[in-house]
């Protein structure tokens, strides 16, 4: 072996060694990268497709008809005939109140009606009596007129018999005949006045009877009202539904208008609050895919029924005043009513209740006229 001096060794050590040959890329890494790229492409495509064919919101809730049932009169509860969550039919009795006060009022008005009806009978009898008096007065007028006629004829005859040429009767007889005629005339006037008074009494008695009859009608109306008030002691279910929020116990005193129970009907729907920017392609009749949080894994089908006439902010208790200088634009939400398919309502009857959360996904490319 040849010997190298130290200088040569330093030169050789300074020369870099040749780089190793480049290794081929790992196929597994390429495969994973390709799968990630495909997944990202698929996710992007799905997002694009759903963004152009669907609008979705999680601000959706099950809504329904909730009927508050309240007392119409004051009273003490004597019976409660329903339990919590019980199904009732329209017309079923929910509770009963003590009817004593209303029953006493009904009996009192009935007694008043009977009393006034007796007064009406008395008025009828009085009218009959006054009619008889009027008839008698008319007969007396006719009699007085007949006496007047005879007295007038006698006075005329006596006047013809006592003249300056002939004195067939005495002056006293002539004066007596004239006095009798004057008396008969006065008697006729008096009898006529009596007849007129009798007729006036007839009118007065008739008017009094009509007043009594009017009082009977008023009392009959009051009786109907009292009987209706008595019927209000039975609290009736106005619709079919399930009993909820029962705040009613035996012995409790209730007041008019006080809510006692709430009846919830099974006919429910979805109220979905969509952003105003999502409404451009939404139409009545479009299909909606519904997911209820209480029914995981169950996808229900609905349709767009109607749109609210105003945004939710307009119905707020204190709507924002945008005329102020510190205006900030906020995307508003508009309630949209979505109805369920009848088959879904029947299948999940009793499990879909108002207040449940939901997710609504509207197919904006679906035919709005499809049933």
| Confidence (pLDDT) at 64 | 93
pLDDT at 19: 47
pLDDT, tens digit, 9 for 90 and up, residues 209-246: 888 889 999 999 999 999 999 999 999 999 999 998 89
* CA quadruple 360, 363, 368, 371: dihedral, nearest 10: -70
pLDDT in tens, 33-92: 888 888 887 777 766 666 567 899 999 999 999 999 999 999 999 999 999 999 999 999
Rounded distance, CA 240 to CA 92, Å?
A: 9
Burial of 8 (0-12, 13-18, 19+ CB in 10 A): exposed
Q: How many CB atoms lie within 10 A of CB 206?
A: 16
Between strands 287-292 and 357-363, the pairing is antiparallel
The sign of the CA dihedral 134, 140, 146, 148 is negative
- Best CA proximity match to 236, nearest among 37, 26, 93, 89: 93
- Answer for the pair 272, 57: CB distance below 8 angstroms, yes or no: yes
Indicate the range of 91-105, 160-174, 312-326, 336-350 predicted with least confidence: 160-174
Give the distance, in angstroms, between the CA of residue 36 and the centroid of all CA atoms in the same chain: 62
Asked if pLDDT for residue 15 goes beyond 50, the answer is: no
Across the range 343-354, mean pLDDT stands at 88
* 199 pLDDT tier (thresholds 50, 70, 90): confident
For 337, phi and psi rounded to 5 degrees? Answer: -90, 125
pLDDT at 32: 83
Lowest mean pLDDT among 126-130, 243-247, 281-285, 288-292: 126-130
What is the pLDDT, as a whole number, of residue 174?
A: 66
d(CA 230, CA 233): 6
Beta-bridged to residue 306, according to DSSP, are 337
Place 2 in a pLDDT band, splitting at 50, 70 and 90: very low
The pLDDT of residue 52: 66
Spatial neighbors of 337 by CB under 8 A, at least 6 apart, are 63, 269, 270, 271, 304, 305, 306, 307, 308
Question: What domains sit in the chain, N to C, each tagged with a CATH number?
Answer: 53-98+241-363 (2.40.30.170), 100-231 (1.10.287.620)
Q: What is the mean pLDDT of residues 180-188?
A: 79
Residues in Cβ contact with 261 at an 8 Å cutoff, skipping those fewer than 6 apart: 68, 69, 82, 94, 243, 244, 245, 246, 247, 248
Q: Compute the distance between CA of residue 113 and CA of residue 105 in angstroms, rounded to an integer.
A: 12
- Phi, psi torsion values for 83, nearest 5 degrees: -115, 170
Give CA–CA dist 337/262, Å, rounded.
23
**pTM (two decimals):** 0.64
Pairing assessment for the beta strands 259-275 and 241-244 based on DSSP bridges:
antiparallel
């Amino acid at each position: 072996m040849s010997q190298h001096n130290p200088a040569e060794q330093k030169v050789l050590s300074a020369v870099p060694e040749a780089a190793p040959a480049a290794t081929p890329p790992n196929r597994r890494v390429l495969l994973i990268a390709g799968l990630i790229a495909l997944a990202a492409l698929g996710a992007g495509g799905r997002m694009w497709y759903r963004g152009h064919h669907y609008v979705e919101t999680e601000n959706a809730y099950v809504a329904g008809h909730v009927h508050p049932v309240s007392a119409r009169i004051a009273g003490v509860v004597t019976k409660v005939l329903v339990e919590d969550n019980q199904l009732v039919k329209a017309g079923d009795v929910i509770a009963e109140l003590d009817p004593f006060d209303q029953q006493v009022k009904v009996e009192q008005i009935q007694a008043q009606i009977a009393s006034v009806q007796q007064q009406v009978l008395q008025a009828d009898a009085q009218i009959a009596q006054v009619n008889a008096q009027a008839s008698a007065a008319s007969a007396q007028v006719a009699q007085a007129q007949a006496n007047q006629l005879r007295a007038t004829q006698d006075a005329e005859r006596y006047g013809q018999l006592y003249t300056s040429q002939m004195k067939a009767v005495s002056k006293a007889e002539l004066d007596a005949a004239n006095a009798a005629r004057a008396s008969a005339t006065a008697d006729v006037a008096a009898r006529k006045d009596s007849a007129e008074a009798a007729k006036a009494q007839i009118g007065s008695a008739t008017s009094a009877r009509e007043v009594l009859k009017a009082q009977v009608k008023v009392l009959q109306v009051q009786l109907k009202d009292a009987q209706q008030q008595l019927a209000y002691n039975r609290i009736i279910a106005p619709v079919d539904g399930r009993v909820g929020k029962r705040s009613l116990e035996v012995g409790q005193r209730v007041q008019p208008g006080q809510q006692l129970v709430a009846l919830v009907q099974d006919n429910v729907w979805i109220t979905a609050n969509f952003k105003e920017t999502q409404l451009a392609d939404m139409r009545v009749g479009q299909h909606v895919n519904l997911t209820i949080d209480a029914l995981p894994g169950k996808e229900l089908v609905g349709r767009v029924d109607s749109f609210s006439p105003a945004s939710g902010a307009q119905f707020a208790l204190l709507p924002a005043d945008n005329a102020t200088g510190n205006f900030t634009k906020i995307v508003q939400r508009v309630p949209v009513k979505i109805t369920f398919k009848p088959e879904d309502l029947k299948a999940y009857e009793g499990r879909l209740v108002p207040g449940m959360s939901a997710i609504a996904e509207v197919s904006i490319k679906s035919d709005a006229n499809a049933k």
